[in-house]
Amino acid sequence: MKYLKRIFESKGIDEDELTDFCEMNLAYLLDNGDFSIDIEYFDDLIGQYLIVIRLVKMVELSPGERMTTMYQWQEVKDYIVPFIVQLNKNYKLNTTWNDTKGSITIRQQQEWRNFSYEKFMSVVDKWYEDDDEIKYIEIILDNEILKKI
């Protein structure tokens, strides 16, 4: 009985562990202070428990006031691709969140593209030039929380 109790008490992905994982794997980008990782935990309207990881670049407008800004693909490509590979090895990327079955989104000023992990790995270097401007990169994970019956 104690084993069943442990299974049903599962809270899914440990938030501190995921934060540490992201900070460790993107340390070079995060250490310069311009880039940051936002991690959001939520459940959607169809009962999925999701985690959204978003890489953004911040600019300081005045002391204590910051806002997101665009960044170039060349600033992040050497770090984000290996990060997504490691993320895919250690966590479950979501495959049902949107109609295009993409768990990775690259948002530019006027458009965005959704990628499955496989598609991202095969086409990202072909679709983006070094000077392409990115608003954010978003990765959606499944949070494997057991639903209460």
Q: With contact defined as beta carbons under 8 Å apart, do 84 and 37 qualify? A: no
Instruction: Count the helix, strand and coil residues of the chain and give each as a percent rounded to the nearest 5.
Output: 35, 30, 35
What pLDDT does 2 receive?
43
| pTM across the whole model | 0.80
- Which residues make Cβ contacts (< 8 Å) with residue 123, sequence separation at least 6? 115
What pLDDT does 144 receive?
64
What pLDDT does 111 receive?
87
The length of the chain, given as a count of residues: 149
What pLDDT does 38 receive?
93
Query: Which mean pLDDT values do the consecutive 10-residue runs of the chain (149 residues) have?
Result: 41 82 94 90 71 91 84 94 93 69 84 89 89 93 54
DSSP strand pairing (49-62 vs 65-69): antiparallel
What pLDDT does 113 receive?
87
Q: With contact defined as beta carbons under 8 Å apart, do 139 and 102 qualify? A: no
What pLDDT does 96 receive?
67
What pLDDT does 64 receive?
79
**Looking at this protein, which amino acid is placed at residue 55?**
L
